[in-house]
């Protein structure tokens, strides 16, 4: 038995386990907030002001309009802690009652601005394209509008009420949160777990509300505090001018106006009336910064934990290349064409339009059969992952399928509607990515993430039923203590455990096809072997077809039945795995096998392939591998090379196959 085979027998799911209590998220959020004294003090101040103003009838020592003509324009005293105004009214009592309309107006404008700005910002950043252009234009228009002019118009219509003015103010102020949230969403939108959520079949609305929004609480909180401060100052300014609040009812703005008229007689009046506004604005800003840091600490802690784990991983990969016999490439187990699940024909993918069009995948064709594993092999930049994304319909922004056909049974996926693709993703095609932690939502526990997917596939499933199915799926991928794993966050799991969770989620819909995009690259050699053994075991028990993307020939030898070798966006060779190892029929395949570290001989220099894969848009006119090929001739560079069948069930894009075979 090869070393790979020996490793396959070890599959406990615990080789990289770490204690959940190592994570800072185990600390209580209140405890961490208290450790930020400035933010916590600001929070106490803001909440305290809101509480005492809301309960002014209980906390105020006097009614707001009660006069004491024996104490006019007095400073602080035992009877009047903050002094009195020109009519002998208690300043503290009027501040408490006057805070009610100010805080309500602030809350109204803030709620409108933040909710509207957040919704439009997420929509613009997530949808991108025309939606982004339209909504960004709307935001620019709001920023260009004269706020004071609009507010004056509204005030002229509703001079006795402050609250109608807050409605247009909230709409105008929504431009700021919208731009910030849009910018943050653009970054979150590129996270792998967003694509993972889409490929399991979740709707765009679900992805935006459950997976994008939780990552934006930091900037949303900051914007909420900024908008609150601006709204408070604006509402106070309107009241200062004598609008919105009918005298003699108190408000902070009108109290500042009264204090300004009595400045020569009692300057103290400006201190409590203006001071409460200034302190609220300052406290809101400090509170926003503190809460944002507290929210972001979760992601920072997760990132630090992942970096620490990566730094401890073994960099070498030592899976041996045991060769397994398999049926010829492109032929199903029965040999009669039965069992065909997915057929890709002449698929081309490009970015841009017109003269700026750049093709990254060029007329790729292959078939995938039930119960078999097809490996897409090649260096980085050859178009393997882009081919897989084309199948799932989740190409990056700007990417589009230029030509070809991808049929899943009778269903054509190219040009399919959103509803058709939604019914395919997750239910018929599952996906496992390269970085397990990046494919899992860091804001959700493992159990919550899996329950969401399971209830998406079965809407009749109850919460308790979903919980039991979550534990069944975690046990299915050989995770010990499924209950503990279900209650953990992604950063509390090792790489191997996180990848098992990703596999469990990908198989939750019982798909016919599993696309695995280099799922073992980020794992050490022991865990890598365990994951490969798990995939093979699951394939044998379910009959799922696997499209495995890799550059590791040791993985190909362990798992693959058929091989498609890609170079510079093209298929250059197709064969069954055993034939590809024994008699490669393209110089690129031969060079890849020769440079495979698993074939290294002690004391000898490992061969390498000189040069690099040419970038899309810079491909040679003839054979794209010719500049790096030892068999290249002038004929290779003159015209494009066609993909031909030199032998039965073999395909090669090389005109020197005979020379290559004779040298093998």
Looking up residue 190, the CATH number of its domain turns out to be 1.10.3720.10
Backbone angles phi, psi at 623, to 5 degrees: -65, 125
Q: Does 325 have pLDDT greater than 70?
A: no
Instruction: Kindly write down the DSSP assignment for every residue of 341-370, as one continuous string.
Output: EEEEEEEEEEESSGGG-EEEEEEEEEEEET
Tokens for 253?
Answer: 């703005």
Per-residue pLDDT, averaged over 586-597, amounts to: 86
Between 306 and 618, the more confident residue is 618
The model's pLDDT over 502-537, given as tens digits with 9 standing for 90+, comes to 888 888 888 999 999 888 776 777 788 888 888 888
Residue 60's pLDDT band, with cuts at 50, 70 and 90, is: very high
Name the average pLDDT for the chain: 83
With beta carbons less than 8 A apart as the criterion, state whether 368 and 333 touch.
no
The model's pLDDT over 623-664, given as tens digits with 9 standing for 90+, comes to 999 888 888 888 888 888 898 888 888 999 998 888 776 665
With beta carbons less than 8 A apart as the criterion, state whether 172 and 150 touch.
yes
Residue 553's pLDDT band, with cuts at 50, 70 and 90, is: confident
Q: Does 25 have pLDDT greater than 70?
A: no
Tokens for 481?
Answer: 């203590």
Task: Domain count for the chain, please give it.
Answer: 2
d(CA 457, CA 426): 8
Quote the pLDDT of residue 11: 41
With beta carbons less than 8 A apart as the criterion, state whether 486 and 450 touch.
yes
User: pTM score, two decimals?
Assistant: 0.67
Instruction: Kindly write down the DSSP assignment for every residue of 2-53, as one continuous string.
Output: -HHHHHHT---S-TT---GGGSGGGS-HHHHHHT-HHHHHHHHHHHHHHHHH
d(CA 107, CA 101): 10
Question: Which of 200-204, 454-458, 516-520 shows the lowest per-residue confidence on average (mean pLDDT)?
Answer: 200-204
* Residue with tokens 């493992």, as numbered in its chain: 446
Tokens for 72?
Answer: 């006019």
Task: Report the candidate in 400, 402, 329 with the shortest Cα–Cα distance to residue 362.
Answer: 402
* Residue with tokens 């979760």, as numbered in its chain: 298
Backbone angles phi, psi at 347, to 5 degrees: -80, 125
Q: What percent of the chain has a predicted confidence (pLDDT) above 70?
A: 87
Quote the pLDDT of residue 317: 33
In what helix (H) or strand (E) does residue 402 lie, and over which residues does it extend? strand 399-408
> Do the domain assignments include residue 112?
yes
- Residue 97, burial from CB neighbour count under 10 angstroms (0-12, 13-18, 19+): buried
Backbone angles phi, psi at 577, to 5 degrees: -60, -45
Q: Does 491 have pLDDT greater than 90?
A: no
d(CA 551, CA 383): 12
Residue 30's pLDDT band, with cuts at 50, 70 and 90, is: low
Quote the pLDDT of residue 327: 34
> Do the domain assignments include residue 310?
no
d(CA 172, CA 530): 56
Question: Which of 334-343, 391-400, 584-593 shows the lowest per-residue confidence on average (mean pLDDT)?
Answer: 334-343
> Do the domain assignments include residue 555?
no
In what helix (H) or strand (E) does residue 464 lie, and over which residues does it extend? helix 463-476
Residue-number span of the structural domain to which 647 is assigned: 584-664
* Residue with tokens 């003015």, as numbered in its chain: 165
Question: Which of 247-256, 431-440, 579-588 shows the lowest per-residue confidence on average (mean pLDDT)?
Answer: 431-440
| Domain limit, last residue, from 249, 274, 300 | 300
Tokens for 640?
Answer: 């494009």
With beta carbons less than 8 A apart as the criterion, state whether 507 and 538 touch.
yes
Q: Does 306 have pLDDT greater than 70?
A: no
| Domain limit, last residue, from 300, 323, 357 | 300
Residue 194's pLDDT band, with cuts at 50, 70 and 90, is: confident
Quote the pLDDT of residue 367: 94
> Do the domain assignments include residue 129?
yes
Residue 330's pLDDT band, with cuts at 50, 70 and 90, is: very low
Per-residue pLDDT, averaged over 110-127, amounts to: 94
> Do the domain assignments include residue 483?
no
Q: Residue 549 pairs with which residues in a beta bridge?
A: 376, 517
> Do the domain assignments include residue 292?
yes
Residue 102's pLDDT band, with cuts at 50, 70 and 90, is: very high
Quote the pLDDT of residue 417: 86
Quote the pLDDT of residue 532: 86
Q: What percent of the chain has a predicted confidence (pLDDT) above 90?
A: 35
Quote the pLDDT of residue 28: 56
Between 635 and 607, the more confident residue is 635
Length of the chain: 664
Q: Does 296 have pLDDT greater than 70?
A: no
Between 55 and 190, the more confident residue is 55
Q: Does 337 have pLDDT greater than 60?
A: no
> Do the domain assignments include residue 228?
yes
> Do the domain assignments include residue 204?
yes
Residue 439's pLDDT band, with cuts at 50, 70 and 90, is: confident
What DSSP character marks residue 320? -
The model's pLDDT over 127-152, given as tens digits with 9 standing for 90+, comes to 888 889 999 999 999 988 888 889 88
Give CA torsion, residues 312, 317, 320, 325, to 10 deg: 110
Quote the pLDDT of residue 523: 74
| Domain limit, last residue, from 300, 324, 348 | 300
3-state secondary structure 252-298: HHHHHHHHHHCCCCCHHHHHHHHHHHHHHHHHHHHHHHHHHHHHHHH
């Amino acid at each position: 038995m090869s070393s790979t085979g020996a490793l396959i027998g070890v599959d406990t799911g615990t080789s990289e386990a770490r204690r959940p209590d190592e994570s800072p998220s185990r600390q209580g959020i209140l405890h961490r907030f208290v450790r930020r004294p400035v933010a916590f003090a600001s929070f106490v101040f803001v909440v305290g002001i809101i509480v005492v103003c809301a309960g002014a009838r209980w906390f105020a020592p006097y009614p707001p309009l009660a006069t004491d003509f024996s104490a006019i324009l007095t400073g602080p005293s035992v009877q009047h802690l903050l002094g009195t105004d020109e009519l002998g009214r208690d300043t503290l009592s009027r501040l408490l009652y006057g805070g009610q309309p100010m805080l309500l107006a602030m809350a109204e404008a803030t709620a409108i601005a933040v909710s509207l700005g957040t919704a439009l910002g997420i929509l613009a950043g997530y949808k991108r394209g025309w939606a982004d252009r339209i909504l960004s234009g709307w935001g620019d228009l709001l920023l260009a509008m004269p706020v004071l002019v609009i507010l004056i118009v509204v005030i002229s219509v509703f001079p006795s009420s402050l609250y109608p003015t807050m409605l247009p103010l909230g709409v105008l102020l929504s431009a700021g949160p919208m731009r910030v949230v849009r910018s943050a969403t653009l970054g979150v939108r590129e996270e792998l777990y967003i694509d993972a959520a889409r490929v399991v079949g979740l709707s765009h609305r679900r992805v935006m509300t459950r997976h994008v929004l939780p990552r934006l609480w930091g900037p949303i909180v900051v914007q909420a505090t900024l908008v609150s401060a601006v709204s408070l100052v604006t509402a106070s300014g309107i009241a200062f001018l004598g609008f919105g609040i009918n005298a003699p009812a108190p408000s902070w703005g009108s109290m500042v106006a009264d204090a300004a008229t009595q400045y020569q007689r009692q300057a103290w009046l400006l201190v409590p009336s203006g001071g409460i506004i200034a302190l609220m604005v300052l406290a809101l800003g400090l509170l926003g910064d503190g809460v944002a840091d507290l929210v972001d600490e979760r992601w920072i802690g997760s990132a630090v934990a992942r970096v620490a784990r990566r730094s401890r991983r073994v960099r070498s990969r030592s899976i041996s290349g045991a060769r397994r016999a398999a049926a010829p490439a492109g032929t199903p187990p029965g040999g009669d064409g039965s069992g065909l699940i997915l057929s890709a024909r002449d698929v081309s993918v490009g970015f841009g339009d017109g003269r700026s069009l750049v093709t990254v995948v060029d007329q790729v064709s292959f078939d995938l059969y039930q119960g078999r594993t097809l490996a897409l092999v090649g260096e980085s930049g050859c178009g393997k992952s882009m081919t897989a994304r084309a199948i799932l319909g989740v190409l990056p922004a700007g990417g589009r399928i230029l030509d070809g056909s991808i049929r899943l049974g009778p269903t054509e996926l190219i040009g399919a509607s959103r509803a058709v693709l939604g019914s395919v993703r997750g239910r018929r095609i599952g996906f496992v990515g390269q970085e397990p932690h990046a494919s899992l939502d860091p804001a959700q526990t493992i159990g919550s993430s899996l329950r969401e997917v399971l209830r998406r596939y079965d809407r009749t499933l109850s919460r308790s039923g979903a919980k039991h199915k979550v534990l069944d799926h975690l046990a299915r991928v050989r995770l010990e203590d499924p209950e503990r794993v279900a209650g953990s966050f992604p950063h509390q799991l090792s790489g191997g455990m996180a990848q098992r969770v990703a596999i469990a989620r990908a198989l939750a819909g019982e798909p016919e096809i599993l696309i695995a995009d280099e799922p073992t690259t980020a794992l050490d050699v022991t865990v890598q072997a365990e994951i490969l053994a798990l995939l093979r075991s699951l394939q044998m028990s379910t009959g799922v077809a696997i499209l495995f993307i890799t550059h590791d020939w040791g993985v190909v030898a362990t798992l693959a039945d058929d091989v498609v070798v890609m170079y510079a966006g093209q298929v250059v060779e197709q064969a069954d795995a055993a034939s590809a190892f024994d008699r490669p029929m393209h110089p690129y395949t031969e060079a890849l096998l020769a440079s495979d570290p698993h074939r290294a001989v002690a004391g000898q220099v490992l061969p390498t392939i000189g040069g690099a894969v040419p970038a899309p848009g810079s491909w040679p006119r003839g054979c794209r591998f010719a500049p790096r090929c030892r068999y290249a001739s002038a004929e290779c560079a003159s015209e494009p090379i066609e993909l031909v069948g030199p032998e039965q069930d073999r395909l090669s894009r090389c005109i020197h196959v005979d020379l290559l075979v004779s040298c093998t």
